[in-house]
Each structure stands twice: as C-alpha cells, then as structure tokens.
Amino acid sequence: MEPSRHVVFSHGQKSGPWGRKISSLAAVARAEGYAAHSIDYQGLDEPAERVARLVAACQALRGELVLVGSSMGAYVSAAAAALLHARGLFLMAPAIYVDGIPALPVGAVDCPTAVVHGWADEIVPVEHSIRFASEHHAALHILDTDHGLHSQIRMVKVQFEYFLIGLDLPRLKNL
C-alpha cells in the first residue's frame, strides 16, 4: 500500500539530496508516519528549474505533502507550496529576499509554515527570515548557529517533529 503522507526534502545549492541534515530529518519524518523523499537538484542552478523539478517529482505522490527545504531548497519549497497544495512548509535558513533569486509569487505560501534560522548565518541574513515569518504569519525559531544549522541539528529535529505533530492538531477557534 502506498503511503498517504509524504515529506519531500529540497537541498541547498552546495549540498546533495541526502546530506546530514536531510538524513536526520528524514528519520523524524518516518517516525511520524511519513514517507521521506529527497529531490536531487545537483547541476541545476536556476531556481525556476528547481521548482519545476520539485513539482514534477511530487505529481506522482498521493496524499498529504509536507515540503521541507534548506537555503535555496527552502526557496524552492516555498515557491512550489501553493502549486502542490502542500499541507505544511518547514524552511531552514531560506534563501528568500536574496539578490539573484526571484521574489516569491504572491500567494505562494498558503499553508502552515515554520522557519528555522541561525543568528550567525553568514550567507542569508537572519533578518530575511524575520521579515518572511512576519509577512506570512509563520512560526519562527532562531538558533545560536550558522547557515548550515549543524551545531543545532538536535534542536532542528525537535522543531521539525513538533511541526509535523502540530499539523495533525485540530485548529482551535479564537476564544
């Protein structure tokens, strides 16, 4: 029987589909009942090409879809979220509002979203994630780490598990 819940990972520009961060988070996804997939973008430099590859790869998946991305992969995940009717979006150090990367289309992010970023990110300023989270009403977790988030991988895993569990919680009415 084909799984009905999928987490699809998108790696950054200088990494690969099953790096340390994605492999760690894939274990969390599987423990929460999701099938884990990771798209290989190596050799694709243009964001639009990466978005097209993600959309094409997800066409065959049936059921709930959670998109997870790191850096350029976070941009790609965010840009494809509405196109794929994603159930959730988990972004790590997203390359959003970065020179040379197109602005996200209006309405691209239309699902529950969480952002994790490092205070000492030397590639994408943390202010970009603060702005994005504010504009999209996303959960924001800022950790004492750099762009790769590796020194805080345990905390990233906890935040990811919390995010996946939260997607299953019923929404409460404002009291």
17 three-state secondary structure: coil
Look at residue 171 in the predicted model and tell me its pLDDT.
77
Interval 7-34: pLDDT, tens: 999 999 888 999 999 999 999 999 999 9
The residue count of the chain comes to 175
Q: What is the residue range of 160's domain?
A: 5-37+46-168
SS3 116: strand
In a domain, 175, yes or no: no
Query: Domain with 163 in it: what CATH number?
Result: 3.40.50.1820
Is the pLDDT reported for residue 110 higher than 80?
A: yes
Q: How many CB atoms lie within 10 A of CB 42?
A: 11
| ∠ Cα 155 156 162 (to 5°) | 90
How many structural domains are present in the chain?
A: 1
Residue 170: pLDDT band by 50, 70, 90 thresholds?
confident
Residues 6 or more apart whose Cβ sits within 8 Å of residue 12: 70, 71, 72, 73, 74, 95
**φ/ψ of residue 158, rounded to 5:** -60, -45
pLDDT of 172: 75
Beta bridge partners, 35, equal 6
Residue 32 lies in a domain: yes
Helix or strand or coil: residue 114? Answer: strand
For 47, the token pair is: 């964001």
Confidence band of 2 (pLDDT split at 50, 70, 90): low
- Quick: pLDDT tens for 121-149: 999 999 999 999 999 999 999 999 999 99
Residue 174 included in any domain:
no
What's the chain's average pLDDT?
95
